[in-house]
Structure 1
Amino acid sequence: MGTNVALVTGASRGVGRGVAVALGAAGWQVWVTGRSSTRHGSTSHLPGTVEKTADAVTVAGGVGVAVVCDHRDDAQTRSLVQRIEAESGSLRLLVNNVWGGYERLNAGGWTEWTAPFWQQPIHLWESMFDAGVRAHYVTTALCADLLRRTAGSAVVTVSMEVGSAHDPRHGVLYSMAKAADDRFALAVAVALREAGVASVALHPGLVRTEGVMQFAEHLDLAASESPQGVGRVVAALAADTQLLELSGQALTVRELAERYGVDPGP
């Protein structure tokens, strides 16, 4: 059996980087995408680029491949998938992690993020739905043929518990977008089940990403998770030979950590 191949979108930093590196430690070839690049410049004041993540995947024991990709641009996403098919020949795991909805928050917009929805800028819709939900849909649609041809393949869409039950501490728009991701994961599971492709929504808890740690003073981090811990859970999930039995569900990192005996905290 050849090397397992994964695509992790939005992997310059944060959860995406943690997932990519954990897969590397498990011996995967990991294609990592994002807009922040060592060569072409970063989109954020936060550290991290696709090249640095790919290097970390390789150091961990896998093979990292960096691709600068704006997943709002269908042509760029299509070109990426064509490269994966041409150079790797298969795709066993797609992790839909790209999420433009945090950009303004990461830039320091805590007050905006916590404001009532009628006081938030309307273009947050584009950030969450175009650079989030739509990007997940398009990437999955373009990867579907590759996934259907690869035994034991899966789609993991990073979502959040607010999609299952609205939490008033989170905004209306955020709740809507995450609910859309959860339903997307379920619908994809139904559509791809006959081909043996699993699809789940993944609900991390509070994760100590670079963006989150900017606001540590506002948060209770006692039960928080690390990007690396979330990544180890995803790697264990991808290795689960009974994964198809979980298809169509929205699963928390904590419950999966218990299932696989992984500590998501450190």
Structure 2
Amino acid sequence: MSLQGKVAVVTGATRGCGRAIAVELGRAGATVYVTGRTTRETASPLKRPETIEETGELVEAAGGEAVVVRCDFTSVSDVDALKARIESEVDGIDILVDDVWGGDMYFHFDAPFWETPLEDALNLTHNALDTHLIALHKLLPLVVARRGLVLEVTDGDNDDYVGAGLPYYLAKCGIRALGRALGVELKKNDCVGLAVTPGFLRSESMLDHFEVTEDDWRDAVGKLAPVDFKISETPYLLARGVAALAQDPDVARFAGQTLASWTLMKEYGYTDVDGDRPDFGRWLTEVRNAGKDPLTTPPDDFR
């Protein structure tokens, strides 16, 4: 419980990596402000069933203290209210994990950008980038007060374009850029900033998309899901790395970098919740980028 007495804020904590990160920070002893749009009374435009109350219950079941606050990070007034509440209850933030996304409704991977609705592109970047800027502008003063840690959550550990569509690429590169800039800017205030990324994620929405569950997800590989899905990971692979970073007294050595779940897994020596050690980065390098046939490549060599 080395995060006992520490205060963490996780944005976008309703599901996926945000939920898992909140749980693992709570497991390590932190008081976690669980923030997001979907509550048991109010659904977000994504219409997903997960709620921030459920995340809070998971945090407390893991041994942490959860403070559940509905907050739409596209709304400056909502974030102002969140800041005011935090200031009224504690004297700062030790760990800020900026995991807002909200772009699932707006990306188009299979069509040229100029043939997709411009409104979708603008909505995606608004949900994925403006939200991070709003959160940082309002909450960074509370991080500086505690000489804390800021983690920006993105997709991918480099800026290579892999065909995911221009708006999506812009959003995820932008988050990595924020991590690099925060590494420089926060150092001036004895704080640390960087970015983190999962690999091929078995989130709740991804499992639903491929019509499988965590128990039978392998059934989708090569059918509804691409072959790369066999090197997928739960949100907890990244979450355990985030908890390790938050407890690392020498975390400043990573300032400005983008660290992948597989990199953190090897750095801190942990596994996914199912005991696997999926190395999606090595899979990309040694199979996909090397031109090998992923269908005939044994996945166990990369787990």
Q: One fold, TM greater than 0.5?
A: yes
* 1:205 equivalent in alignment to 2:199: yes
* 1:218 equivalent in alignment to 2:218: no
Q: 1:229 aligns with which of 237, 241, 247?
A: 237
* 1:179 equivalent in alignment to 2:179: no
Letter in 1 for 2:62: A
CA drift of 1:162 comes to: 7.1
Letter in 2 for 1:148: V
| Whole-Å separation in 2 of the counterparts to 1:232 and 1:240 | 12
Q: 1:101 aligns with which of 84, 103, 112?
A: 103
CA RMSD of aligned residues (A): 1.8
Is the partner of 2:104 in helix, strand or coil?
helix
Is the partner of 1:65 in helix, strand or coil?
strand
Q: 1:66 to 1:155 in 2, by over 3 A?
A: same
| Whole-Å separation in 1 of the counterparts to 2:271 and 2:114 | 39
Letter in 1 for 2:251: L
| Whole-Å separation in 1 of the counterparts to 2:266 and 2:120 | 35
Q: Is the 8 A contact 2:37 2:44 kept in 1?
A: yes
Structure 2 counterpart of 1:34: 36
Is the partner of 2:267 in helix, strand or coil?
helix
CA drift of 1:34 comes to: 1.1
CA drift of 1:148 comes to: 1.0
More contact order relative to length (CA 8 Å, sep ≥ 6): 1
Q: 5 Å matches for 1:35-74?
A: 35-74=37-76
Structure 2 counterpart of 1:245: 253
Q: 1:92 to 1:198 in 2, by over 3 A?
A: same
Deviations 1:98-151 (A, max 9, x none): 11212356xxxxxx4432222222223333321111111111121111111114
Q: 2:111 aligns with which of 111, 115, 118?
A: 115
Letter in 1 for 2:92: S
* 5+ residue gaps, structure 1: 106-111
TM-score normalised to the size of structure 1?
0.91
Letter in 2 for 1:164: D
CA drift of 1:176 comes to: 1.2
Deviations 1:84-105 (A, max 9, x none): 1211222011111011212356
Deviations 1:130-186 (A, max 9, x none): 1111111111121111111114x1111111227511112x11111111111111111
Q: 1:2 to 1:225 in 2, by over 3 A?
A: closer
| Whole-Å separation in 1 of the counterparts to 2:231 and 2:99 | 22
Q: 1:3 to 1:64 in 2, by over 3 A?
A: same
Structure 2 counterpart of 1:86: 88
* 5+ residue gaps, structure 2: 211-223, 275-303
Q: Is the 8 A contact 1:233 1:253 kept in 2?
A: yes
Letter in 1 for 2:68: A
Q: Is the 8 A contact 1:9 1:33 kept in 2?
A: yes
TM-score normalised to the size of structure 2?
0.80
Structure 2 counterpart of 1:166: 161
Q: Is the 8 A contact 1:46 1:210 kept in 2?
A: no
Is the partner of 1:124 in helix, strand or coil?
helix
Structure 2 counterpart of 1:155: 150
| Whole-Å separation in 2 of the counterparts to 1:222 and 1:185 | 29
* 1:124 equivalent in alignment to 2:114: no
| Whole-Å separation in 1 of the counterparts to 2:203 and 2:191 | 30
Aligned residues: 258
Letter in 1 for 2:114: W
- Greater shift, 125-134 or 65-74, is seen at 125-134
| Whole-Å separation in 1 of the counterparts to 2:133 and 2:151 | 12
Give me the identity figure in percent: 32
* 1:134 equivalent in alignment to 2:142: no
| Whole-Å separation in 1 of the counterparts to 2:32 and 2:45 | 22
Letter in 2 for 1:234: V
CA drift of 1:207 comes to: 0.9
Provide runs of 4+ in structure 1 moved above 4 Å: none
